[in-house]
């Protein structure tokens, strides 16, 4: 297929790299704002804050601004709750023209008071959207006033869409969480305890991970923010260790907790047998005075892998030699996915992320095979170009990448927030392999034009 005429945009050359033995040693450009006029797969600051805080289920989340931002984020993640489900509701101050002219503080105040009376939440998060930064609403003052009157924490989240990238949104969310941390009682927290950070309980994944740790004899104080509860977050400073997945979003909080409460943190990933096992061993290794924790971790790993190994071999037999392209939000996930795909015999021909940093891309370069293309903040045109040129059989991404794969006759695995089947943990690796197998091996591709189309 002819794709050589698809050129990269001027200004994006540094963000695309093809690994070559004889190639020049260059650093991949990243941490840049998206180029105007490109169709970035990224969202905005608001999106970054919203994804991090969304799963907190006993708080109300009020989007201060016109209706769009609230409407497009209403019940869009599979972040499940074992109890209250306030996070699945959408609240907006739905600002109108007159509010933009005269200011939205009064409307925000009334909205907050009424919603708190109606739903009796444990806390409220107030997200400011683009125009709040322009019309100059003092949302800090409104939050303080309401918090005082209603006796619950009311946290402003400074997430004006244009004030940075998605990463700045993560930071704003972490700042809001940090205001809660340290305000609750740490009574009853064991020395052998952790917080799970950066795990959003999509399809119940946090429950799977939590169960492993609890089986090891480690107490989980708070999961942030999957199946999250305000009271757990408030006492999370009582934990001994922070275990951070999705490091792009939650490292800020882990660092602040380290600084303020002396809690060390480690980075983990729960995707794939290799990284999942390591996440358990790494935690166990930090509790050396209780060796039974490590013994139990080993037992879990052994049992779980034994359970799924035979079927994994069948998937591997079918998938060996197939090629995958990965384009996800955070770079840390791509490391796990490359390893997970190798487990089932697949190679990676394209790896990229929306928000990776320099260290991430350096590591990615080391991990990748010769000829693999690495991209930062890519767009549909580039992704299509490389998927076709590299003859990928599978694309891993989110909702926005899915139709690109299907249009071009390529299998797809949704590894983003809409997934409804857990992909984390040992069972998650099995589900992942099964999903990849079912999409790549589907007989429907015989009708795709790039496979001849049967006509």
Partner 1 sequence: MTAKTATQNACKLCNPLGACLAFRGIEKCVPFLHGSQGCATYIRRYLISHYKEPIDIASSNFNEETAVFGGSHNLKLGLKNVSQQYKPEVIGIATTCLSETIGDDVPMILKEYEAIMGGEGQLPAMVFASTPSYSGTHIDGFHAAVRSTVKTFATEGPKRNLANLFPGMVSPADIRYLKEIMNAFGMPFVLLPDYSQTLDGGPWAEYHRIPPGGTPVRAIESTGSASASIEFGSTLEAGKSAAGWLEERFGVPRIHLPLPVGIKASDRFFEALEQLTEKPMPELYEDERRRLVDAYADGHKYVFGRRAILYGEEDLVISMAAFLHEIGVVPVLCASGGKSGLMKKRLQELVPDLDGLGIKVREGVDFVDIEHEADGLQPDLLIGNSKGFAMSKRHDLPLIRIGFPIHDRFGGQRLHHLGYRGTQELFDRIVNTVIEQRQKASPIGYTYM
CB 268 within 8 A of CB 275: yes
Nearer to partner 1, 322 or 385 (CB): 385
Choices 191-199, 225-233, 364-372, 377-385; region in contact with partner 1 by CB under 8 A? 377-385
Q: In the bound complex, what is the minimum distance in angstroms from residue 323's beta carbon to partner 1?
A: 17
What residues between 408 and 437 interact with partner 1 by CB under 8 A?
Answer: 408-409
CB 355 within 8 A of CB 332: no
Shortest CB 121 distance to partner 1, Å: 12
Residues 146-185: x where in contact with partner 1 by CB under 8 A, - otherwise, as a string? ---------------xxxx---------------------
- Give least dist CB 107 to partner 1, A: 6
- Neighbour count for residue 414 (Cβ, 10 Å): 19
Q: Which is nearer to partner 1, 131 or 351 (CB)?
A: 131
Which of 402, 421, 427, 441 is in the footprint of partner 1 by CB under 8 A? Answer: 402
Give least dist CB 286 to partner 1, A: 38
Determine if 6 is a binding residue for partner 1 (CB under 8 A): yes
Instruction: Give me the least distance between CB of 411 and partner 1, in Å please.
Output: 14
Helix orientation angle between 205-215 and 291-319, rounded to the nearest 10 degrees: 140
Q: Which 15-44 positions form the footprint of partner 1 (CB under 8 A)?
A: 33-44
Tell which positions 52-111 bind partner 1, by CB under 8 A. 62, 65-76, 88-97, 99-100, 107, 110-111
**DSSP sequence for 278-298:** HHHHHHHHT-TT-HHHHHHHH
Q: Which helix (H) or strand (E) holds 328?
A: strand 323-328
Q: Is the link from the previous residue into 225 a cis peptide, with omega within 30 of 0?
A: yes
- The number of C-alpha atoms within 13 Å of 285 and in the hemisphere containing its C-beta is 9
Q: Which is nearer to partner 1, 113 or 189 (CB)?
A: 113
**52, 170 in Cβ contact below 8 A?**
yes
Helix residue spans in 65-123 (DSSP H):
68-71, 97-102, 105-119
In angstroms, what is the minimal distance from the CB of 454 to partner 1? Answer: 12
The span from the CA of 25 to the CA of 352, in Å, is 18
């Amino acid at each position: 297929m002819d794709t050589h005429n698809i050129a990269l945009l001027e200004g994006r050359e540094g963000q695309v790299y093809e690994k070559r033995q004889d190639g020049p040693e260059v650093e991949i450009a990243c941490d840049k704002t998206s180029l105007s006029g490109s169709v970035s797969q990224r969202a905005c600051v608001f999106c970054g804050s919203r994804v991090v805080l969304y799963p907190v289920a006993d708080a109300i989340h009020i989007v201060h601004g016109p209706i769009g931002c609230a409407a497009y984020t209403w019940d869009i993640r599979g972040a499940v709750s074992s109890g209250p489900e306030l996070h699945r509701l959408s609240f907006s101050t739905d600002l109108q023209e007159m509010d933009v002219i005269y200011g939205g503080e009064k409307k925000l105040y009334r909205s907050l008071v009424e919603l708190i009376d109606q739903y009796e939440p444990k806390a409220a998060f107030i997200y400011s959207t683009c125009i709040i930064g322009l019309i100059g609403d003092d949302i800090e003052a409104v939050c303080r006033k309401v918090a005082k009157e209603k006796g619950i924490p009311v946290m402003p989240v400074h997430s004006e869409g244009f004030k940075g990238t998605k990463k700045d949104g993560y930071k704003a969310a972490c700042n809001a969480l940090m205001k809660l941390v340290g305000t609750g009682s740490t009574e009853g927290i064991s020395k052998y305890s952790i917080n799970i950070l950066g795990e959003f309980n999509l399809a119940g994944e946090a429950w799977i991970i939590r169960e492993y740790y609890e089986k090891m004899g480690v107490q989980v104080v708070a999961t942030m923010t999957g199946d999250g509860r305000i009271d757990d977050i408030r006492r999370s400073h009582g934990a001994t260790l922070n275990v951070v997945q999705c490091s792009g979003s939650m490292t800020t909080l882990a660092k602040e907790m380290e600084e303020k409460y002396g809690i060390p943190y480690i980075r983990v990933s729960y995707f794939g047998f290799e990284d999942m096992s390591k996440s358990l061993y790494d935690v166990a290794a930090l509790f050396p005075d209780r060796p039974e924790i490590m013994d139990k971790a080993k037992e879990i790993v052994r049992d779980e892998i034994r359970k799924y190994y035979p079927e994994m071999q069948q998937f591997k037999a079918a998938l060996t030699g197939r090629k995958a392209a990965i384009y996800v939000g955070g770079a840390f996930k791509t490391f796990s996915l490359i390893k997970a795909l190798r487990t089932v015999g697949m190679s990676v021909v394209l790896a990229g992320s929306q928000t990776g940093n320099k260290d991430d891309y350096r590591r990615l370069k080391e991990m990748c095979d010769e000829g693999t293309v690495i991209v930062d903040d890519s767009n549909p045109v580039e992704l299509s170009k490389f998927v076709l040129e590299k003859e990928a059989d599978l694309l891993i991404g989110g909702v926005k990448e899915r139709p690109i794969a299907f249009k071009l006759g390529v299998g797809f695995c949704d590894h983003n927030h809409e997934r409804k089947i857990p992909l984390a943990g040992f069972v998650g690796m099995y589900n992942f392999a099964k999903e990849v197998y079912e999409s790549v091996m589907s007989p429907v591709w015989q009708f795709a034009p790039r496979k001849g189309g049967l006509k």
